[in-house]
């Protein structure tokens, strides 16, 4: 789960990492009240789970009430790289002397947490120069390590002391909240030598959420995603018109790739889990029926243990119950494939021996319908 | 470092050669019970199960113990497979390693990263191999199956398959089998961000096996395991044929594609990054699972001409 900037900053505040004064709203009425409390000038910042907001005009300075009336609605309806504005943060401007970069992230290859720091922050991590990299095991950062990193970044005196404190607190957040990433970019040194977190990005390990009820308030899932999760499925909604269903994340990804290679447009990624039963496949079809853009369904099931007839039963039931009325292109390997084909004869579900054949048929059918 | 094949098969002359004893943790759960039966049917020598509160009973004819200490004490088994729900994984795995288990197959999905890292550290201290979490397990076709994979796709042979994905391991092995490339071992490392046995380690565990002519690496987007492996292949001048597959080329960025580990941040974890590193290591990457045996055949052909 990726926290929005204001959510990350509320964690920072809880751990006494300095942040600028700011207020968050989701409509302009509340926004006006926030503006009155804060006082002009300030920065209007779109809250969305994506980088590059500044360049896209989703962060803008605001000098007075007239500007506010124009800019607030404009930023509210911004879409950057497909991500919509979820809320708006109004924040006091800071007198920035120097921008730094600091993060702790889960280094998968090394299987430990790693600090990345730089005295030249404020740009996206890929462009951050002179990176200082330190492995820190399970995430704990002692004062000496933090001081070494700060010195290497060129900090001294008051900013160095403050940096050491902030880095240690950021490490504590990472450990306490089981974050895969905790990043402050930029971490700013101000005119008065104080150090402040001007932005925040925190990604929490989804699998650890059962230990973090206090973070539930930040969780935002669509109705469909929630339903999928309840059934033990993984669902990612996409832009196309062919729903892609299968058992196993790798297999569904692979099917998505092949469909795209052949000019098909996936509407979703739906992994029903390693096994497949009549109930799970029926539930998957029910979920898909709620996505309006779907015009066809591509199914790739690797049976092995599961009999394909079990799955065929689910399709027949779904048509009978009028859950779906869509063409299905299915590849099911496994026991009793011939019997399944026989069962599905005359229905809108076509069975194929290979996934390549199923994909070809699906793409041709979708193109026919424009 | 303990030897994987010695743990799984043993040496000729051992009285349990090709019959290494295995313990199932969480043997009475629906999933654990079903796969215990499947593994027994394949010929795996399951000697004990553990479910607290059910000690003294039997499941599929296998005696159940209260604790791992009792189960290991009674059987001397060095291998365990875990089926408990993710939130109980940490305590089950600690119990196994503290009881002297040397090969731990961790099936559960959704194990928190922190718990996986804790187990990785403990396994290092105990000189044990952990496979997973979120793995289908390991199979040596015709000899031993410790995992949840169906038996059908696998066939005895001389190709090793290492995979980050369960069903893709079945799919690719199935394609290899019908092309007459049987497998000497199929090793699921798991789809999580932290693996008990990461890709490189899995590769090094099997690379020099006398029964291995070539290696197929089934990967996916997320992390940099494939990039590191490609560099490792270059650095160590590995010269047996290696062919790769990578799932997730069409996946959007910053979306978790089912597996906890299948997520791209910027260029970190992208398919392009992996394919280009593999190209440097002279490892061809298949566009689809069915292409894997063709590329492998091509590699063997080249080897012959050379």
Which position has the higher pLDDT, B31 or B82? B82
* Cβ contact B194–A108 (<8 Å): yes
* Number of CB atoms found within 10 A of residue B303's CB: 13
Mean pLDDT score, A118-134 = 88
Residue A304 above 70 pLDDT? no
Mean pLDDT of A315-325: 91
Query: In A, residues 7-66, which contact B (CB 8 Å cutoff)?
Result: 49-50
**Residue A27: which CATH number?**
3.30.1490.20
Whether the Cβ atoms of residue A286 and residue A316 lie closer than 8 Å to each other: no
Q: Write down the pLDDT at residue B74.
A: 97
Q: Report, as an integer, the average pLDDT of B33-42.
A: 96
Q: What is the predicted pLDDT for the residue at A305?
A: 65
Q: Which residues contact A50 (CB under 8 A, 6 or more apart)?
A: A80, A81, A82, A83, B254
Q: What is the pLDDT of residues A183-206, one digit of tens each?
A: 999 999 999 999 999 999 999 999
Residues 319-338 of A with CB under 8 A from B: 333-334
* Model confidence band, residue B232 (pLDDT cutoffs 50, 70, 90): very high
Q: Is the pLDDT reported for residue B95 higher than 60?
A: yes
> Where are chain B's structural domains?
4-131, 152-305
- Indicate whether A170 and A79 sit together in one domain: no
> Do A358 and A245 belong together in one domain?
yes
**Domain harbouring A110, CATH code:** 3.30.470.20
pLDDT in tens, B117-133: 999 999 999 999 999 99
Residue A123 has pLDDT above 60, yes or no: yes
Residues A248 and A280 reside in one and the same domain: yes
* Model pLDDT, residue B19: 94
Q: Which residue has the higher pLDDT, A227 or B199?
A: B199
Residues A62, A130, single domain; the answer is no
Is residue A370 pLDDT above 60, yes or no?
Answer: no
Q: Does A294 lie in the same domain as A267? A: yes
pTM of the model: 0.93
Show the tokens assigned to B86: 């993710």
The answer to the question of residue A177 being in a domain is: yes
**CATH hierarchy code of domain B152-305:** 3.40.50.261
Residue B88 tokens read as 């109980």
Write down the pLDDT at residue A19: 98
Long-range contacts of B151-155 (CB under 8 A, 24+ apart): B151/A304, B151/B38, B151/B41, B151/B42, B152/A304, B152/A334, B153/A304, B153/B177, B154/B183, B154/B186, B155/B182, B155/B183
| Cβ contact A269–B38 (<8 Å) | no
pLDDT at A120: 92
| Chain A, nearest residue to B197 by Cα | A111
From A92, A119, A147, give the residue that closes a domain.
A92
CA distance B227 to B136: 23
CB of A206 within 8 Å of a chain B CB? The answer is: yes
* pLDDT given for residue B265 in this prediction: 85
Q: Is residue A3 assigned to a domain?
A: no
The ipTM of this complex is 0.94
Mean pLDDT, rounded, for A47-67: 93
Domain B4-131 has CATH 3.40.50.720: yes
Tokens representing residue A360 in the block? 């070809």
Q: What distance lies between CA B59 and its chain's CA centroid?
A: 25
Is the same domain home to A143 and A194? yes
Residue A12 lies in a domain: no
Q: Average pLDDT for residues B193-214, to the nearest whole number?
A: 95
Mean pLDDT of chain B: 95
A8 within domain boundaries: no
The mean pLDDT of A262-271, rounded to a whole number, is 95
Q: Which of A86, A83, A103 is nearest to A183 (CA)?
A: A103
Please report which confidence band the pLDDT of residue A281 belongs to, taking 50, 70 and 90 as the band edges.
confident
**A206 and A237 belong to one structural domain:** no
Report if residue A39 sits inside a domain. yes
B224 contacts on A by Cβ (under 8 Å):
108-109
Within this chain, do residues A292 and A362 fall inside the same structural domain, yes or no? Answer: yes
Structural domain count, chain A? 3
Which of these ranges, A210-214, A287-291, A301-305, A317-321, has the smallest mean pLDDT? A301-305
pLDDT per position as a tens digit, B244-278: 999 999 999 888 999 989 999 888 899 999 999 99
Per CB-CB distance under 8 Å, the chain B contacts of A211 are 112
**Per-residue pLDDT at A340:** 84
Which residues on chain A are in Cβ contact (under 8 Å) with B193?
106, 108, 180
CA distance A231 to A286: 12
The boundaries of the domain holding residue A309 are: 223-368
Q: What is the mean pLDDT of residues B292-301?
A: 96
B203 Cβ contact list (under 8 Å, min separation 6): B162, B215, B217, B229, B232
- Residue A274 in domain: yes
Same domain, A284 and A306: yes
Query: How far, in Å, CA of A35 to CA of A90, rounded?
Result: 7
What is the band of B306 on the pLDDT scale with cuts at 50, 70, 90?
A: low
Strand partners, B129: B103
pLDDT interval class at B191 (50, 70, 90) = very high
pLDDT above 90: residue B148: yes
Model pLDDT for residues A7-20, shown as the tens digit of each residue:
999 999 999 999 99
For residues A88 and A101, state if they share a domain: no
The predicted pLDDT at position A344 comes to: 87
Same domain, yes or no: A153 and A103: yes
Interval A200-228 mean pLDDT: 92
Chain B contact present for A232, CB below 8 A: no
CA atoms within 13 Å, Cβ hemisphere of A261: 16
Query: At B208, phi and psi to the nearest 5?
Result: -95, 5
A6 is known as an active-site residue: no
Average pLDDT of A252-266? 97
Mean of per-residue pLDDT scores for chain A? 92
Q: What's the CATH number where A330 sits? A: 3.40.50.261
Q: Report the 10 Å Cβ neighbour count for A368.
A: 7
A250 assigned to some structural domain: yes
Residues of B in contact with A355 (CB under 8 A): 288
Same domain? For A55 and A136 the reply is no
More confident residue, B106 or A281: B106
Asked if B289 lies within 8 A of A210 by C-beta distance, the reply is no
* 8 Å CB contact between B195 and B189: yes
Whole-number Å distance between alpha carbons of B218 and A291 = 32
Strand order in the sheet with A242-246: A234-237, A266-271, A242-246, A296-302, A328-333, A349-352
State mean pLDDT over B139-143: 97
User: Where a domain ends, among A36, A63, A92?
Assistant: A92
A44: in domain:
yes
What is the structure's pLDDT at B1? Answer: 58
The pLDDT of residue A210 is above 90: yes
């Amino acid at each position: 789960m990726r926290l929005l900037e204001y959510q990350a900053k509320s964690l920072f505040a809880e751990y006494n990492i300095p942040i600028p004064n700011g207020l968050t709203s989701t409509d302009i009425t509340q926004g006006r009240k926030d503006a009155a409390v804060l006082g002009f000038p300030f920065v209007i910042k779109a809250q969305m789970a994506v980088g590059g907001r500044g360049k896209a005009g989703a962060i803008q300075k605001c000098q007075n009430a007239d500007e506010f009336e124009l800019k607030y609605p404009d930023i509210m309806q911004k879409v950057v790289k497909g991500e919509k504005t979820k809320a708006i943060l109004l924040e006091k401007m800071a007198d920035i002397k120097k921008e730094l970069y600091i993060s702790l992230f889960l280094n998968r290859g090394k299987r430990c947490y790693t600090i990345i720091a730089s005295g030249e922050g404020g740009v996206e991590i890929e462009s951050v120069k002179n990176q200082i990299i330190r492995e820190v095991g399970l995430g704990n950062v002692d004062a000496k390590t933090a001081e070494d990193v700060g010195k290497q970044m060129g900090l001294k005196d008051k900013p160095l002391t403050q940096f050491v404190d902030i880095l240690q607190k950021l490490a504590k957040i990472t450990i306490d909240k089981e974050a895969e990433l905790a990043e402050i970019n930029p971490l700013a040194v101000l005119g008065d030598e104080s150090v402040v977190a001007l932005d925040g990005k925190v990604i929490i390990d989804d699998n650890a959420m059962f230990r973090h009820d206090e973070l539930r308030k930040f969780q935002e899932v669509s109705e469909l995603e929630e339903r999928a999760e309840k059934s033990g499925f993984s669902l990612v909604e996409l832009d196309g018109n062919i729903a892609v269903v299968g058992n196993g994340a790798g297999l569904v990804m692979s099917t998505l790739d092949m469909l795209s290679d052949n000019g098909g447009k996936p509407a979703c990624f739906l992994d029903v889990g390693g096994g497949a039963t009549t109930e799970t496949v029926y539930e998957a079809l029910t979920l898909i029926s709620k996505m309006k853009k779907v015009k066809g369904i591509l199914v790739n099931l690797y049976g092995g243990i599961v009999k394909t007839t079990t799955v065929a039963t689910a399709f027949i039931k779904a048509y009978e119950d009028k859950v779906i009325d869509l063409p299905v292109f299915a590849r099911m390997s496994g026991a009793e494939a011939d019997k399944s084909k026989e069962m599905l004869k005359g229905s809108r579900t076509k069975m194929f021996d290979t996934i390549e054949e199923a994909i070809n048929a699906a793409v041709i059918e979708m193109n026919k319908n424009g | 470092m303990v030897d994987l094949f010695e743990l799984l098969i043993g040496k000729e002359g051992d009285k349990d050669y090709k019959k290494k004893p295995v313990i199932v943790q969480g043997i009475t759960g629906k999933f654990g019970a079903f796969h215990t039966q499947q593994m027994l049917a394949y010929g795996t020598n399951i000697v004990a199960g553990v479910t607290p509160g059910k000690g003294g009973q039997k499941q599929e004819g296998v005696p159940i113990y209260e604790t791992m200490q009792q189960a290991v004490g009674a059987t001397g088994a060095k291998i365990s497979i875990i089926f408990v729900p993710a939130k109980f994984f940490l305590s089950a795995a600690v119990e196994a390693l503290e009881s002297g288990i040397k090969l731990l197959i961790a099936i559960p999905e959704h194990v928190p990263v922190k718990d996986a890292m804790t187990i990785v550290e403990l396994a290092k201290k105990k000189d044990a191999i952990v496979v997973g979490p979120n793995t289908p397990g390991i199979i040596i076709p015709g000899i031993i199956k410790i995992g949840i994979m169906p038996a059908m796709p696998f066939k005895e042979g001389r190709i090793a398959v290492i995979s980050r994905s369960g069903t893709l391991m079945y799919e690719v092995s199935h394609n290899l089998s019908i092309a007459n490339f049987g497998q000497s071992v199929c090793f699921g490392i798991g789809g999580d961000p932290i693996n008990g046995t990461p890709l490189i380690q899995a590769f090094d565990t099997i690379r020099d096996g006398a029964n291995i002519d070539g290696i197929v690496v089934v990967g996916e987007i997320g992390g940099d395991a494939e990039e590191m492996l490609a560099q490792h292949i270059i650095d160590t001048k590995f010269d047996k044929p290696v062919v790769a597959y990578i799932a997730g080329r069409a996946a959007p960025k910053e979306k978790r594609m089912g597996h906890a580990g299948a997520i791209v941040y910027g260029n970190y974890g992208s398919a392009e990054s992996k394919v280009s590193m593999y190209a440097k290591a002279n490892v061809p990457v298949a566009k689809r699972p069915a292409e894997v045996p063709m590329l492998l055949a091509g590699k063997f052909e080249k080897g012959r001409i050379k």
